[in-house]
Amino acid sequence: MPFSPSYRAETLHAKLGDSFFDIVEPACFPEHILRFRNRRWAARTGLDTLTDDEWIAHFGRFEPLPDNFPQPLALRYHGHQFHMYNPDLGDGRGFLFAQLRDLEDGRLLDLGTKGSGKTPWSRQGDGRLTLKGGLREILATEMLEALGVDTSKTFSLIETGESLFRGDEPSPTRSSVLVRLSHSHIRIGTFQRLSHLGDEPAIERLLDYTIANYFPDLAAEPAERRAEAFLERVVARVARLGARYMVTGFVHGVLNSDNINITGESFDYGPWRFAPHYDPRFTAAYFDDSGLYSFGRQPGALGWNLTRLAECVLPLVGLERTEKILANYQSVIQREFQLALLERFGLRPATDAAKDAALAKALLEFLGKTRAPFEQTFFDWRGGLASRARAAASPEAARYETQEFAPLLEALADHEPAPSANLEHPYFQRTTPCTMLIDEVEAIWAPIAADDDWRPLGDKIAEIAMMRNAYGASANLARGAAD
């Protein structure tokens, strides 16, 4: 079938030069069974006209897209992993397959892979992805997008017919290859590698590329201020991401510097989890013995990684300005948390910003003291006091009659419902919200593992789509794309 005339290919990353990547060959898989195809985002990239066979050809066998990279690019980067610097990183089981334009806003998009075979950076790995790992990435990205978190999108998942051995899963287990759609695969670790090598000209080249393609409004800045403006923008974007992790109860699990995208877009989902209730010590990764990336420490972890980026551009920004930008991170993430919280509640900001801060404080104190279900609380009080009758019919209604809830009720009363509250939507006629706790993930996987039954996954994706429409998540993300 002919490609849509709206499809717009790009090969901009290749212009950085071959010192930024290695040309690689994709793995040859024994089978290609299409398990997930993101039709919404296929339409936004002009790839919705592909047949299933054509889809598999491009995203399972990795035949090049028209006018795109003739061969995949395994990207080079370094990074701190649990605060230990690792100069041997890079795309070890993935590559940049293609670049193209978002047809709605014109932004540059990357199609990257996970589980597509060995590269020069695979070390002792097999370059593969388990099918369960691919399923978990679908669920993470669909849920986060619906909740208004700026995230990569799972574009495709194809089962590949191999048996994999993994210590953290019953082995052998089924294999897959995943394609993710992201606004850039440039990481803090990409800059760290060049800084480690002492290659200042390459840092400036990467900085110019990043500004031109991801922050084009900064191109008008005077040459001597462009690096400073870049650092300010990345700090703001990453602060916004951290705030939205906290407001959605999401724990990424592995916030290493190679997992932090300079556009502030969340990606690469391994041991993620949603917290069932507010618990700063809640961790997602079984190997995070110290709780370095626990729920409550995520803002600090992101700030630590931003400091590593600042070190890379320090010669271009200067010590005094760098320190001021980093010092501003805490106030930025606090305000972003308040704004994200208001969006989740469907409330207007108060004319007095102190009332927004009071709402945030009251919520955290209530959740911390009572261990009320995280998602249920936001769901029940969507629109503030406009949902008082809804909250009275909630399974958690008794909690809202307690002394611990009184300060939060008072803070909610100081805010008016926003037009985005959308309380007439059928989603808000339910008594319980859509959630994605670990038991639910396992319940979706179990019938796939036992009987190849994918219906629970389809049902869950449909439920998430209902929630996404109710929350208007795409509108919520518009501010992040425009700032």
Domain with 38, as residue range(s), is 9-188
Contacts of 443 (CB under 8 A, 6+ apart): 456
- Which region among 3-7, 207-211, 300-304, 308-312 has the lowest average model confidence (pLDDT)? 3-7
The predicted-structure confidence for 343-396, as pLDDT tens digits, reads as follows: 999 999 999 999 999 999 999 999 999 999 999 999 999 999 999 999 999 999
Confidence of residue 125 (pLDDT cuts 50, 70, 90): confident
pLDDT at 196: 98
User: Which DSSP letter does residue 105 get?
Assistant: T
pLDDT beyond 80 at 72: yes
Considering the chain, what percentage of its residues have pLDDT values greater than 90? 94
Query: What's the distance, CA 419 to chain centroid?
Result: 26
Assigned domain for 384 exists: no
| Domains: count for the chain | 1
Assigned domain for 271 exists: no
Torsion of CA 179, 215, 11, 255, to 10 degrees: -30
Assigned domain for 393 exists: no
Query: Is residue 45 within 8 Å of 101, Cβ to Cβ?
Result: yes
Query: What's the distance, CA 433 to chain centroid?
Result: 21
Q: Is 463 left (phi over 0), alpha (psi -120 to 50) or beta?
A: alpha
Assigned domain for 334 exists: no
pLDDT at 312: 98
Segment 318-335 mean pLDDT: 97
Confidence of residue 464 (pLDDT cuts 50, 70, 90): very high
Segment 43-71 mean pLDDT: 97
The predicted-structure confidence for 253-263, as pLDDT tens digits, reads as follows: 999 999 999 99
Confidence of residue 473 (pLDDT cuts 50, 70, 90): low
Segment 82-108 mean pLDDT: 96
Assigned domain for 354 exists: no
Assigned domain for 438 exists: no
pLDDT at 238: 98
Assigned domain for 47 exists: yes
The predicted-structure confidence for 396-451, as pLDDT tens digits, reads as follows: 999 999 999 999 999 999 999 999 999 999 999 999 999 999 999 999 999 999 99
In this structure, what are the phi and psi dihedrals at residue 275, rounded to the nearest 5 degrees? -75, 130
pLDDT at 483: 56
Rounded Cα distance between 291 and 281, Å, is 7
Segment 446-462 mean pLDDT: 98
Segment 69-89 mean pLDDT: 97
Which residues have a catalytic role annotated? 258
Q: Is 278 helix (H, G, I), strand (E, B) or coil?
A: coil
Assigned domain for 152 exists: yes
pLDDT at 3: 82
